[in-house]
Amino acid sequence: MSDYLVKALAYNGQVRAYAVRTTTTINEAQRRHQTWPTASAALGRAMTAGVMMGAMLKGDSKLTIKIEGGGPIGTILVDSNAKGEVRGYVSNPQVHFELNQYGKLDVARAVGTAGTLTVVKDLGLRDYFTGQVPIISGELGEDFTYYFASSEQTPSSVGVGVLVNPDNTILAAGGFILQLMPGTEEKTIDEIEKRLKSIPPVSKMVEKGLTPEEILYELLGKDNVKILETLPVAFVCRCSKERIADAIISLGAKEIQEIIEEEGHAEASCHFCNETYHFTKEELEELKRFAEGHHE
């Protein structure tokens, strides 16, 4: 099954719902960054939440999520957009701990709880929308739930999960976001809360082969759900050799000349996808000429 996301309404429009399978997407992130299991789970949960939040946007809008919890994993950075494209990285990918007391990967220990979760939305307007909340659990699902309630005033339930194979590849990854619309009836809230307590973790549902639609049926009851749209999901990075070249040009002719004299070549890696770009001496000479032209 390929990765995709569904958008839905439930209970006659009282609830907005999203569910996603991200197994292949998180596998790609793990392969590129060589993350160890606990780091894979942390990055995978953040990217899964990020791709669903991106799907809430319209057109060319995009968002960035920055998680700085003070833990050994360092910073988690995720970029996503309205097209189902997501990319992300962690400062320290080689982080792994023993399972926690619940027999799960100890994401909270890796992320830390002394910091902030920040969401920046670029809606194509002059100003960016920025929301920031303290990290309250470090497990990330609860932290995104708190973000929606506190920063966007939308009561929500966020579930994100990642299962990792013994060889470090990703066995299953996925998530859901349920959001209550203004005026949601009390009995609807009670029913959803009851269902949330009785369902298995979302990563287990993905492992069992449930589709995003079926995950929402488990969460909300099939008869209550109206699927609106499906969206393919993938790890996509917008970096290119041209973009890196522009960054080198921006260093200025003098600094490029120093690189030519000291190194004779240059290489630069993209944080988000770990792609490395090489520049020969001849290419650097050409970029230096561009830099001189820009300076005139």
Under 8 Å between Cβ of 160 and 144: yes
Domain total for the chain?
Answer: 2
Under 8 Å between Cβ of 111 and 138: yes
pLDDT in tens, 107-139: 999 999 999 999 999 987 777 899 999 999 999
Which residue reads 């970096």 in tokens? 239
The candidate with the shortest Cα–Cα distance to 234, out of 25, 9, 44, 23, is: 25
Dihedral sign for Cα 101, 107, 112, 117, please.
Answer: negative
Residue 199 and residue 259 in one domain = no
Task: Give the pLDDT confidence score for residue 111 in this predicted structure.
Answer: 97
Domain boundary among 187, 214, 235: 235
29 Cβ contact partners less than 8 Å away, ≥ 6 residues apart = 35, 40, 43, 44, 47, 87, 88, 89, 235
Domain boundary among 188, 217, 235: 235
Separation of alpha carbons 13 and 126, rounded Å:
32
Amino acid, res. 262:
E
Considering the entire predicted model, what is its pTM? 0.89
Separation of alpha carbons 183 and 145, rounded Å:
19
Domain boundary among 235, 264, 280: 235
Amino acid, res. 26:
I
- According to DSSP, the residues that pair with 162 across neighbouring strands are 173
Q: What are phi and psi of 138, to 5 degrees?
A: 85, -10
List, run by run, the mean pLDDT of 10-residue segments along the chain (296 residues): 95 96 98 96 98 95 96 97 96 91 90 96 85 97 97 96 95 98 92 93 97 97 96 90 85 88 85 84 87 67
pLDDT in tens, 236-281: 988 778 888 888 888 888 888 998 988 888 888 888 888 888 888 8
Residue 151 and residue 250 in one domain = no
Residue 168 and residue 247 in one domain = no
Residue 254 and residue 211 in one domain = no
The candidate with the shortest Cα–Cα distance to 41, out of 284, 265, 233, 203, is: 203
DSSP, collapsed to helix, strand or coil, labels residue 206 as helix
Residue 249 and residue 226 in one domain = no
**Which domain range does residue 266 map to?**
241-295
Residue 8 and residue 135 in one domain = yes
